[in-house]
């Protein structure tokens, strides 16, 4: 018999977080989270997203063992301000038993109906800065710290249970050698002169911090028209600034400002921590932190996490200035591969940004939705 149980205590939530460690044991493509960081993201006293969202965490149990998990998420900014009557589901993992996935999804649907919502969609996180999508192609490639990995049967279960594709996402990569310096330099010289633009590079984290609020304001503006977008609040910006920006190598963050020192473009990249996270096995201590620090210094893969251009400049080629600065930095760092995080397949503007680097789509993923 399969039963659904809500996880609320610290011990229960830790078991909830640790379930995928058992499900993906010895899988060479799954990248584990840091357990304590995952728990912090679920803590209403720590994660500011809970000021305008709520989440409940459930597991499926069979013979007193966890065989699946899911989170039911309600983002009130999305519902009340954007008028999207959706309940989100995320952190969705399960054994290959359709009775398990069915019961977990039915629990989310039940909560959605109680709140008079119209449909459910997932897997997604609390906001646009969280992981997204079921992997549907590219199962033989290692994941990243900002994506979920899953077995091929996830897609099959969702389709059998009447879910339809919501949004499609692509993950692309290209060799760093495809970023040619001479053409970029010529284009950038013209752009910088024509629009009075200046690139900003950094060697110290403390010099980045004064710009971060403006960067997230620009993030909200540059992504506002995308169908999946929910704005990031000021308190969330402060949280992400403290949690993530201080950990990213300064040379992996680039800004472009105009003559009035207003930000018109930004990009955040990170070294790949995938193999380091696998070695850490979900723990920073005693040795996990050393694996991460080694990757931070020596990784040959760069993950493009966020990139944004002000709407007024999106058709003017300003992204070339960003790439020109990365070309100079990455050459010194010995970067070999540039990897992009999931981007909406329908986002033709972002596809145009990357086309000159001859990217290859190596993973595909999507969200699934169902009317309530």
Find out whether the peptide bond into 286 is cis, omega within 30 degrees of 0. Answer: yes
Query: How many angstroms separate the CA atoms of 153 and 96, rounded?
Result: 7
Query: How many angstroms separate the CA atoms of 73 and 90, rounded?
Result: 8
Query: How many angstroms separate the CA atoms of 255 and 240, rounded?
Result: 17
Confidence of residue 321 (pLDDT cuts 50, 70, 90): very high
Q: Which CATH architecture has domain 174-363?
A: 3-Layer(aba) Sandwich (3.40)
Confidence of residue 349 (pLDDT cuts 50, 70, 90): confident
Confidence of residue 227 (pLDDT cuts 50, 70, 90): low
pLDDT of residue 243: 77
pLDDT of residue 228: 65
Q: Note the pLDDT tens digit of each residue in 231-262.
A: 788 888 888 887 778 778 899 999 999 999 99
Q: Do domains 2-169 and 174-363 have the same CATH topology?
A: yes
Burial class (CB in 10 A: 0-12, 13-18, 19+), 72: buried
Confidence of residue 317 (pLDDT cuts 50, 70, 90): confident
pLDDT of residue 353: 80
Q: Of 30-39, 124-133, 340-349, where does the model show the most confidence?
A: 30-39
Give how far the C-alpha of residue 357 lies from the chain's centroid of Cα atoms, to the nearest Å. Answer: 22
Token output for 266: 């930004």
Query: How many angstroms separate the CA atoms of 78 and 49, rounded?
Result: 12
Find out whether the peptide bond into 123 is cis, omega within 30 degrees of 0. Answer: yes
Arithmetic mean of pLDDT, 178-193: 87
Arithmetic mean of pLDDT, 169-191: 89
Token output for 3: 């039963």
Q: Over 90: is that where the pLDDT of 351 sits?
A: no
Q: What is the pTM of this model?
A: 0.93
CATH class of the 2-169 domain in this structure? alpha beta
Where exactly are the structural domains of the chain?
Answer: 2-169, 174-363
Query: What is residue 318's three-state secondary structure?
Result: coil
Pairing of strands 301-309, 65-75: unpaired
Question: Nearest-CA neighbor of 122 among 195, 15, 228, 13?
Answer: 228
Question: How many residues appear in the chain?
Answer: 372
Confidence of residue 140 (pLDDT cuts 50, 70, 90): very high
Token output for 315: 């058709």
Q: Over 80: is that where the pLDDT of 225 sits?
A: no
Q: Over 80: is that where the pLDDT of 296 sits?
A: yes
Confidence of residue 113 (pLDDT cuts 50, 70, 90): very high
Quickly tell me which residue has 């192609």 as its tokens.
Answer: 137
The C-alpha R_g of the chain, in whole angstroms, comes to: 21
Confidence of residue 11 (pLDDT cuts 50, 70, 90): very high
Question: Nearest-CA neighbor of 69 among 43, 103, 35, 37?
Answer: 103
Q: What angle do CA 90, 91, 97 make, to 5 degrees?
A: 100
């Amino acid at each position: 018999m399969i039963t659904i149980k809500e996880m609320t205590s610290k011990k229960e939530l830790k078991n909830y977080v640790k379930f995928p460690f058992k499900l993906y044991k010895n899988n060479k493509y799954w990248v584990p989270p840091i357990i304590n960081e995952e728990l912090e993201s679920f803590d209403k006293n720590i994660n500011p997203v809970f000021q305008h969202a709520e989440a409940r965490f459930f597991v499926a149990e069979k013979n007193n063992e966890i065989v699946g998990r899911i989170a039911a998420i309600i983002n009130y900014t999305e519902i009340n301000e954007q008028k999207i009557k959706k309940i989100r589901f995320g952190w969705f993992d399960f054994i290959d038993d359709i009775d398990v996935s069915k019961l977990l999804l039915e629990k989310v649907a039940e909560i959605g109906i109680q709140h008079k919502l119209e449909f459910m969609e997932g897997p997604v996180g609390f906001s646009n800065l969280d992981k997204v999508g079921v992997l549907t192609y590219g199962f033989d490639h290692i994941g990243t710290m900002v994506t979920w990995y899953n077995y091929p049967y996830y897609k099959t279960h969702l389709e059998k249970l009447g879910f339809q594709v919501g949004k499609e996402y692509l993950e692309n990569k290209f060799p760093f050698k495809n970023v040619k310096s001479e053409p970029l330099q010529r284009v950038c010289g013209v752009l910088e002169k024509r629009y009075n633009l200046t690139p900003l590079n950094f060697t110290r984290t403390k010099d980045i911090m004064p710009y971060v609020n403006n960067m997230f304001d620009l993030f909200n503006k540059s992504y506002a028209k995308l169908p999946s977008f929910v704005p990031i609040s000021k308190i969330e910006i402060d949280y992400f600034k403290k949690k993530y920006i201080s950990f990213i190598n300064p040379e992996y963050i680039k800004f472009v400002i105009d003559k009035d020192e207003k930000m018109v473009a930004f990009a955040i990249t990170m070294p790949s921590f995938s193999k380091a996270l696998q070695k850490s096995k979900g723990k920073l201590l005693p040795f996990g932190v050393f694996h991460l620090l080694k990757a931070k210094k020596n990784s040959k893969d760069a993950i493009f996490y966020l990139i944004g251009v002000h709407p007024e400049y999106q058709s003017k080629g300003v992204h070339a200035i960003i790439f020109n600065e990365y070309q100079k930095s990455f050459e010194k760092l010995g970067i070999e591969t540039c990897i992009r995080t999931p981007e909406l397949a329908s986002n033709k503007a972002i596809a145009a940004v990357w086309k000159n680097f001859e990217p290859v789509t190596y993973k595909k993923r999507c969200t699934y939705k169902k009317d309530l």
